[in-house]
Amino acid sequence: MNYLQSTLDTIQNHEKVVYQFSGGRDSIAGLLALGYPLPAQVHIMHVSTGDEPEETRLLVGMMQARYGDKFIVVQSNSLAVRAMYGHPLPIALSDAPAFAEAPATQTQFHCCFRSIMGPAHAAVEAHGFTMVIRGQRLSDVHQSDLRHLDASEGIVYAFPVYDKTDAQIDELCGAYLPSFYGFTSDAPDCKTCTGYWGRGYQKWLEHTDPQLAAERKERIAALLSFIEPILRVGFSEIE
């Protein structure tokens, strides 16, 4: 299947279409692949977490200047989400910790949903969009269950760069490719996020903001200090 052409063809069947732009390389590549100018019915939406990398903020500003009022920014607040529900972890302690002194935590999915996916979906519904376009790819480790041109709750989803390789994505991005990919395997939506490990976020943050990197490192270390005794209790159950 030609994913780009089928996306462009499907756009013609909808009066209100939105491209969800995160600022990562897949979303950049997908947007540029659609061409310029965009079809009249296509808008762009970006959810600002309030904690995104400065490079992402600058890129969003450039895209706003390029696309004008077609570019919609939805303001979220991941710092407030974390203050309310706890910091995200790959292994959440629970919102009602077994150990009284342990802090509340949340999974990465719940934090991302509260900070990004939930606000984005609410905005899609509020604007009446019936087609959503994303930079999702088949090779993505983390992705929704939706596939190209699937429909859910009356909304059709399309992925124009669905079959592209990393090299093809980087070529599409060109000069827009964010520099943090020199350290990370994907785009950090929140620069101080504690939920994703092993993706190069810490090394990138140490390079760009040593103070924030030190704070993130201390926070993860503190969270691990609560996980360790819980794991010890769990292992005692299977010994």
Q: What is the CATH number of the domain that holds 148?
A: 3.40.50.620
Residue 216 resides in a domain: no
Confidence of residue 228 (pLDDT cuts 50, 70, 90): confident
> What DSSP character marks residue 115?
I
pLDDT, mean of residues 184-197:
94
**Average pLDDT of every residue of the chain:** 93
User: Does residue 227 sit within a domain?
Assistant: no
| Confidence tier at 100 by pLDDT (50, 70, 90) | low
Residue type at 63?
Answer: M
Within-domain flag for 235: no
Q: With CA atoms as reference, report the closest residue to 17 among 147, 153, 128, 150.
A: 128
Output the pTM of the full model: 0.91
CA angle 51, 52, 57 (to 5 degrees): 125
- Separation between Cα atoms, residue 63 and residue 48, nearest integer Å: 14
- d(C-alpha 22, C-alpha 173), whole Å: 14
Nearest Cα to 46, choosing from 108, 28, 158, 175? 28
pLDDT at 193: 95
In a domain, 228, yes or no: no
Q: What is the pLDDT of residue 133?
A: 98
Domain assignment of residue 37, yes or no:
yes
Which residues on neighbouring strands pair with residue 18, listed in sequence order? 43, 132
Which residues make Cβ contacts (< 8 Å) with residue 146, sequence separation at least 6? 136, 152, 157
Question: For the chain, what is the domain count?
Answer: 1
Establish if 153 belongs to a structural domain. yes
In a domain, 99, yes or no: yes
Note if the bond before 37 is cis, omega within 30 degrees. Answer: yes
3-state secondary structure of 151: strand
Q: How many angstroms separate the CA atoms of 197 and 102, rounded?
A: 20
CA 190, CA 213: separation in Å to the nearest integer? 13
More confident site: 64 or 90 = 64
In this predicted structure, the answer to whether residue 103 has a pLDDT above a threshold of 80 is no
Q: What CA–CA distance (Å, rounded) separates 198 from 145?
A: 23
Q: Tell whether 190 is covered by a domain.
A: no
Domain that residue 35 falls in:
3-179
